[in-house]
Structure 1
């Protein structure tokens, strides 16, 4: 069955701007991804230039609350009113996913019955640390908690949100602007055209968009010997309270400016046809907008049409078009220099147009639909007909434990399956729980999963029904405690270990039958971790977690010192709580002595000076890994050690010392005999240009072995078999 999507944007589809184009692109991409879509309009329809093409799409229903009598008022709905209308529409026949744009609206919906089904598109968020008030963080945390998916326009926005609002980590996915050419529209012919240089701008007219300043360009270019026209498309002139005279000045310039042709408002297809008839697009903005975490849809539309764009130089634009793109501009003089250059040099024009066209190719409708198909497949996995046929209903799975952080994504997956019904018995502490609630789980469930082989496993093993299956997941922490020895293994159907080494060790220590103990590895959220690396990553080593002392930060320092003897660009980044933040570690004399020596060494070593960076502990690991090219594992022992696998999924190369069982989890090529061998291997890979190839091989390996989809498949087989 096709997922049913309800879409609402806090945007007026009577006005052509980037937010209105978002609504069009989102609806079209959802349909192509396999959804039935209902679009609810914010404002009464005054022109059908954006809405009519959507009404014509198969599988799309457009609802106008004003026309249907769901809302009475001459203007568009505010967030509170929209939330009430959407709740009424959803109540008629609840939707599978609710895609919304607008932070205020999402905040209203987060407290209602759509919580858990929201796919929230985030743009109107504070875009600097200074603007991030406690109130803004609280709003975004509530929205993140209520959202199944957070759609972020750019990698920059996603990383910023994950560092500022930890609740967004793991839910934030990329959904860049969608560029869709209207049917029958012809793109611009290659090469500069004869006659005047035709500049084109489409969109709203506002102070920070430099639209007033643009109207002077034809006159100023004429002084430089360049014949130019400026074609401006749009009818929304911004009223700026800080500049009351702007609207009047802007209208006068549009109507009387030398060389300015104002086309007024047009349907999107006509606006894009006018763009395609131009030579150069203008997206030059005030410097205050350089820190924006959003990507202009107009820039991408121009590129798709073969029209090069003048725009500000920012890190985002440099990644999009290259650092040597010839049409970056900050000031009016920069704009004039760029336009004069392009007007007199056909080869520069061709280079700029080719760059823009190549960049825009990644933002088409097919790419957007493919992204959404992937997200939909994760959110709505195919049910098993076998399970439904055997039970005649959904399989009832209970999950019990005091700490579910290592089970979180598996739990999300199990809850998303249409053939499973999941309930959680969250214990207040390792030995504290609500016995009534736990007994209710025993009475209800077909299968019970105990996360951790602790008091929870002992309790359920004593009380499980004969027809009920009990699965216990054992970690390193419990293996050397008393609980496994007390467990009635006869009442347990399967014990899950995360690695072959710990599987063997568990059987050796407990004497449990081999058929009871199975290996299902830890999961790696490979889709979340797969992000573009930042420049210089090949010289950056990373460690995630350095406490307790058996993590052996001192050995990682040996590696860094050896590398920095020849190349000071090598740097170790440590993402971890510091040892004194763990009371149970810091109370031990030997632990304190170890770290005091380690930090003394960092402070005094000439080679380590400036070569070790400590980053704060947090859930933004995927964003942090963008700068990391190598993930080290120098521990004395580990049960699995997830950090190297997460690094591999991010496109980093793992580097491990041979702790017991490492070679049962990671390929031998990533394991080094000692720190000298590790340093030599890292240096050789970078100097010989092999780092990128090694990283791609590592990424492919971890996806096949420990990717979230693969581990979820193994758990599904285990629970439903």
Structure 2
């Protein structure tokens, strides 16, 4: 998850708001964390729909997670059906801009996005909010342009394009701006998160799940048996795509099938984009036989009425089947114990099961056919239980738990022994920090540390004046790469200052380690025991100077449900240069497809010709030409290899990958198999030097043929689930982001050097 720290002026004491918030936070602190949150949705809380209920439940969830939560209203209150219940929630404040005269020029339809952002920044200047939760794309675009809110926005994304055709260049640009300015992007469903990450690179690593929240009265619940006549219920807005006019045909359609039925409709918002449709809808509400229109009701009363009915309706136009959102109404009715008629979509199948009995067809007759099943008590109970079970994961308690975990992530606890008022001053220096970004962001987020970055233009070029200034300022210097940056900071090291150098495979065979004054270095960090041993041998440095801090794996971000058939998809990430040995991966695929043609190989990569230093070498070019010809000319392989674009959307891509291949000649760590394991897949690693110090023997293979045999056995013998659970447990125990960040914190803050040990053995101990 990407942090968005503010640049701190070297002469300043940093951002004291961040120090105050972070210092109070910590895992399990709950209400003691003392965080202040503001919630604003570009929604009218006088109208009961999913977006208005979101504003109410988000405020309640933040309060339950331990925040002082302020809900800022968009429109003047004409009915307090959603606002009044918040008055009873401890820690919640409701601000009414119209009634309080906060925006004198505000119209009766509510604040414009620009007015809302101006008011939010004014209130923030007064109260110092630690996070600002916003909903509404126009509002989010305006908020993203406000530097005062930069890095503190938690943006809930729903009204954004949800198709490739709709994701225009303008939409990508706007969502990218929102993502960059936001600390978190809250996505309602896994489908929406995956689509955003695949379309907007800036969303990767920041997107987290925040599904709809269902809060139902304790005394509202269904009867558990269908009535005679069968009572159908719909709550919400009346609109063409919601099939509300077609729903009014259901009592008559059921009567023709010998099933007496009545329809109860609750709501008062009739869409008037089409005046003719609006007139038809209004006539149907007022005059249809078997239909009772209750009008608009407070939410608690609407739920009480619904609970006295038998079956909920969430039947929509087929054009909405591609929606990446989940209806709050489906979950609310399910929580009441009612089965719900819904369209058959992949999302609903995952929620309720592919064999759920009340999936709707496209017209009223097909829905009536499904509803006749609901008159059967046994089928009714089964459908009701499916909906009740599905809704259980969307409770307010579960929402508060999710929010609490995100608060713990964004506002970590100050390390023991540090004082946020006198922070440890840390410099991170290097020309290419992409492998250190998450660690840098974590260290920056810690109260008790003040982090500044010395970004070098290239290996050798940098602003010497800034580097000298930072060298004189820092308590601890971390050099990413053992290159000229390490030589510079070793030369300018002060007494009492600590210098940590992280060494990669690239520079191990270069000139710089031989020139480094190792006496000036407190620790040289390698990512694996094998490379630590090799570093001691080649550089001749003291054994206790070379330590192992492994690469990290963001287990929480990668832990996503696999797509159906993932066990038949092999994966490779990055195939250049040739020592990555794509040819071996293709050999594994060939062995498997000879046994089962369902196996495929997905390769997420740049192409070799995208790297000039690879493509300009004749032997490299010849290797790839030969390998690609092998795929093209072999009918067994030609239909089994897919190349996917290189990009940061690895977590989304991994949902379809069951086995990650590591077929290289050599690697310093090779993160891709570990990331696949964290995603619920299985590593498949050839025994390159040092592989056995990173991955346990169960994932190692001596040849492509042996690897193919093992993969086929896992799938054909039904051991895939057991294998992937074991792999995830191993990777979480060894390389989780929490564990590795803790090791770096000990090194940076306390100078505590971890003992060199086999990470695989550490997890097993």
Question: Which TM-score tier does this pair reach, normalised by the shorter chain?
Answer: over 0.9
Separation in structure 2 between the aligned mates of residue 530 and residue 321 of structure 1, nearest angstrom: 21
Separation in structure 2 between the aligned mates of residue 513 and residue 11 of structure 1, nearest angstrom: 64
Count residues in correspondence: 714
Structure 1 residue 462, shift from structure 2 partner? 1.1
Separation in structure 1 between the aligned mates of residue 461 and residue 272 of structure 2, nearest angstrom: 60
Higher normalized contact order (CA 8 Å, seq sep 6+, divided by chain length) = 2
Q: Deviations over 1:294-331 (max 9, x none)?
A: 00000011111111111111111111111111111131
Separation in structure 2 between the aligned mates of residue 277 and residue 346 of structure 1, nearest angstrom: 16
1:274 partnered with 2:309: no
Structure 1 residue 569, shift from structure 2 partner? 0.8
Where in structure 2 are the equivalents of 1:431-470 lying within 5 Å? 431-470=460-499
Separation in structure 2 between the aligned mates of residue 440 and residue 65 of structure 1, nearest angstrom: 48
What corresponds to 1:492 in structure 2?
Answer: 521
Q: TM-score, normalised by structure 1?
A: 0.98
Structure 1 residue 117, shift from structure 2 partner? 0.5
Separation in structure 1 between the aligned mates of residue 718 and residue 397 of structure 2, nearest angstrom: 34
Q: Aligned to 1:538, which of 558, 561, 567? A: 567
Separation in structure 1 between the aligned mates of residue 85 and residue 474 of structure 2, nearest angstrom: 49
Separation in structure 2 between the aligned mates of residue 118 and residue 476 of structure 1, nearest angstrom: 38
What corresponds to 1:717 in structure 2?
Answer: 746
Q: Aligned to 2:385, which of 354, 357, 366? A: 354
What corresponds to 2:23 in structure 1?
Answer: none
Structure 1 residue 189, shift from structure 2 partner? 2.0
What corresponds to 1:29 in structure 2?
Answer: 61
Query: Is the 2:415–2:745 Cα contact (8 Å) retained in structure 1?
Result: no
Query: Is the 2:44–2:75 Cα contact (8 Å) retained in structure 1?
Result: yes
- Secondary structure at 1:99 match in 2: strand
Structure 1 residue 220, shift from structure 2 partner? 2.1
Where in structure 2 are the equivalents of 1:173-184 lying within 5 Å? 173-182=208-217, 184=218
Where in structure 2 are the equivalents of 1:564-643 lying within 5 Å? 564-643=593-672
Q: Deviations over 1:162-185 (max 9, x none)?
A: 010000000000111111113x33
1:386 partnered with 2:420: no
What corresponds to 2:276 in structure 1?
Answer: 245
What corresponds to 2:9 in structure 1?
Answer: none
Separation in structure 1 between the aligned mates of residue 623 and residue 723 of structure 2, nearest angstrom: 34
Where in structure 2 are the equivalents of 1:275-674 lying within 5 Å? 275-332=306-363, 333-343=365-375, 345-388=376-419, 393-674=422-703
Separation in structure 2 between the aligned mates of residue 272 and residue 407 of structure 1, nearest angstrom: 50
Separation in structure 1 between the aligned mates of residue 464 and residue 225 of structure 2, nearest angstrom: 76
1:232 partnered with 2:265: yes
Separation in structure 2 between the aligned mates of residue 36 and residue 429 of structure 1, nearest angstrom: 46
Query: Is the 1:198–1:278 Cα contact (8 Å) retained in structure 2?
Result: yes
Q: Deviations over 1:619-667 (max 9, x none)?
A: 1000000001100101000000000110110010101100000000110
Separation in structure 2 between the aligned mates of residue 485 and residue 267 of structure 1, nearest angstrom: 75
State the 4+ residue runs in structure 1 displaced beyond 4 angstroms. Answer: none
Separation in structure 1 between the aligned mates of residue 604 and residue 446 of structure 2, nearest angstrom: 34
What corresponds to 1:76 in structure 2?
Answer: 110
Query: Is the 1:116–1:146 Cα contact (8 Å) retained in structure 2?
Result: yes
Structure 1 residue 75, shift from structure 2 partner? 2.4
Query: Is the 1:378–1:413 Cα contact (8 Å) retained in structure 2?
Result: no
- Secondary structure at 2:636 match in 1: coil
Q: Deviations over 1:569-603 (max 9, x none)?
A: 11111111111111100011111111111101101
RMSD: 1.1
Structure 1 residue 392, shift from structure 2 partner? 5.8
Q: Structure 1 regions of 5+ residues with no counterpart? A: none
Structure 1 residue 244, shift from structure 2 partner? 2.2
Separation in structure 2 between the aligned mates of residue 67 and residue 714 of structure 1, nearest angstrom: 52
What corresponds to 2:762 in structure 1?
Answer: none
Separation in structure 2 between the aligned mates of residue 573 and residue 258 of structure 1, nearest angstrom: 57
Q: Aligned to 1:9, which of 22, 25, 41? A: 41
- Secondary structure at 1:129 match in 2: coil
What corresponds to 2:26 in structure 1?
Answer: none
- Secondary structure at 1:213 match in 2: helix
Where in structure 2 are the equivalents of 1:90-239 lying within 5 Å? 90-112=124-146, 113-182=148-217, 184-193=218-227, 195-239=228-272
Separation in structure 2 between the aligned mates of residue 554 and residue 395 of structure 1, nearest angstrom: 49
Query: Is the 1:233–1:271 Cα contact (8 Å) retained in structure 2?
Result: yes
Separation in structure 2 between the aligned mates of residue 45 and residue 395 of structure 1, nearest angstrom: 49
What corresponds to 2:98 in structure 1?
Answer: 66
Q: Deviations over 1:115-142 (max 9, x none)?
A: 1011110001111111111111111111
Separation in structure 1 between the aligned mates of residue 226 and residue 127 of structure 2, nearest angstrom: 54
Separation in structure 2 between the aligned mates of residue 130 and residue 616 of structure 1, nearest angstrom: 18
- Secondary structure at 1:131 match in 2: coil
Q: Deviations over 1:262-308 (max 9, x none)?
A: 00111111111111111111111111111100000000111111111
Query: Is the 2:36–2:130 Cα contact (8 Å) retained in structure 1?
Result: yes
Separation in structure 1 between the aligned mates of residue 382 and residue 162 of structure 2, nearest angstrom: 32
- Secondary structure at 1:61 match in 2: strand
User: Which piece of structure 1 moves more, 136-145 or 249-258?
Assistant: 249-258
Q: Structure 2 regions of 5+ residues with no counterpart? A: 1-32, 751-765
Separation in structure 2 between the aligned mates of residue 478 and residue 244 of structure 1, nearest angstrom: 71
Structure 1 residue 47, shift from structure 2 partner? 1.4
Q: TM-score, normalised by structure 2?
A: 0.92
- Secondary structure at 2:74 match in 1: coil
Separation in structure 1 between the aligned mates of residue 56 and residue 655 of structure 2, nearest angstrom: 32
Query: Is the 1:546–1:552 Cα contact (8 Å) retained in structure 2?
Result: yes
- Secondary structure at 2:52 match in 1: helix
Query: Is the 1:216–1:258 Cα contact (8 Å) retained in structure 2?
Result: no
Structure 1 residue 485, shift from structure 2 partner? 1.1
Query: Is the 2:133–2:156 Cα contact (8 Å) retained in structure 1?
Result: yes
Separation in structure 1 between the aligned mates of residue 135 and residue 493 of structure 2, nearest angstrom: 47
User: Which piece of structure 1 moves more, 377-386 or 140-149?
Assistant: 377-386
Separation in structure 1 between the aligned mates of residue 168 and residue 421 of structure 2, nearest angstrom: 51
Separation in structure 2 between the aligned mates of residue 341 and residue 78 of structure 1, nearest angstrom: 48
Structure 1 residue 687, shift from structure 2 partner? 1.2
Query: Is the 2:220–2:303 Cα contact (8 Å) retained in structure 1?
Result: no
Structure 1 residue 606, shift from structure 2 partner? 2.8
Query: Is the 1:185–1:269 Cα contact (8 Å) retained in structure 2?
Result: no
Query: Is the 1:461–1:488 Cα contact (8 Å) retained in structure 2?
Result: yes
Query: Is the 1:396–1:445 Cα contact (8 Å) retained in structure 2?
Result: yes
Separation in structure 1 between the aligned mates of residue 418 and residue 128 of structure 2, nearest angstrom: 25
User: Which piece of structure 1 moves more, 30-39 or 648-657?
Assistant: 30-39
Separation in structure 2 between the aligned mates of residue 611 and residue 602 of structure 1, nearest angstrom: 9
